[in-house]
Amino acid sequence: MNPRDRILEAVARLLTEGGREAVSTRAVSSAASVQIPTIYRQFGDMQGLLEAVTSQGYATYLASHLKGETDENPVEDLRRGWDVNVDFGLANPALYTLMYGNPRLGAPHPTAVKLQDVLLDRVRRVAESGRLSVSIERAADMLYAAGAGVVLVLIAQGGASHDRTLSVATREAVLAAITTDPHTESAHAPSPRSDATRYAVALKASLSQDARPFTTAERALFDEWLTRFIDTKL
């Protein structure tokens, strides 16, 4: 194993065993059996090293989201994605906290963008089925914020050993707020008057996939009208 890989493996092990506080240049040097200057040559500084570890974490996390077959029920796909997020976070608490507990200012991490695209695609499938009651972007933001928040709270409360009823309750509350899924009916579920909204969301999602026979200008105009209509209903 080359020095770079040994260093990254050592950091992952230190994070698992002692959290972020356990990762120091001296500790990494000892755990990876390399000299401290080697760490700086490979990664520049500690921030560069943590960025590299975070990149690996995002790549592993993305792979876990892409595993498994797509469910015919797009809302079930959202449930599965939520549970994958929780499982990953509780299995890798220090790494998850590094990824989501210290948000990166400015441009997001490239692999984090790919993860967001996966989420948007799943939400778009719900919209295309006519079961999304808010805009695709709003739904994705709500799922992302609530999902990351739940995991960070569970980590703080004891991690994998903690009761996950909080995760299930939060997941179903968010799904009830953004979909018309019959399994998520509650006092907060969309009212019948929201049917026009979900139809507008579905039409907008369909146009984004296939705008035939409209021109680019017509497509932009329809998108603007639909967006304005959806936003007034939120």
Band the pLDDT of 16: cuts 50, 70, 90. Answer: confident
pLDDT of residue 187: 42
The amino acid that residue 197 corresponds to is T
pLDDT in tens, 54-84: 888 888 888 888 876 677 889 999 999 999 9
Q: Is the pLDDT of residue 20 over 50?
A: yes
Phi, psi of 108 (to 5 degrees): -70, 165
In angstroms, the CA 59 to CA 64 distance is: 9
Q: Residue written as tokens 């609530």?
A: 146
Name the nearest CA neighbour of 77 among 126, 31, 28, 30. Answer: 126
Residue 219 is encoded by which pair of tokens? 């497509």
CA distances from 47 to 42, 82, 210 (A): 12, 29, 43
Task: Say what the alpha-carbon torsion angle 67, 88, 61, 143 is, to the nearest 10 degrees.
Answer: 90
* Predicted structure pTM score: 0.73
Phi, psi of 132 (to 5 degrees): -105, 130
Task: Give the domains, in start order, of the chain with CATH numbers.
Answer: 1-44 (1.10.10.60), 56-189 (1.10.357.10)
pLDDT of residue 189: 43
pLDDT in tens, 203-228: 777 776 666 677 778 777 777 777 77
pLDDT of residue 110: 80
Mean model confidence pLDDT for the chain: 83
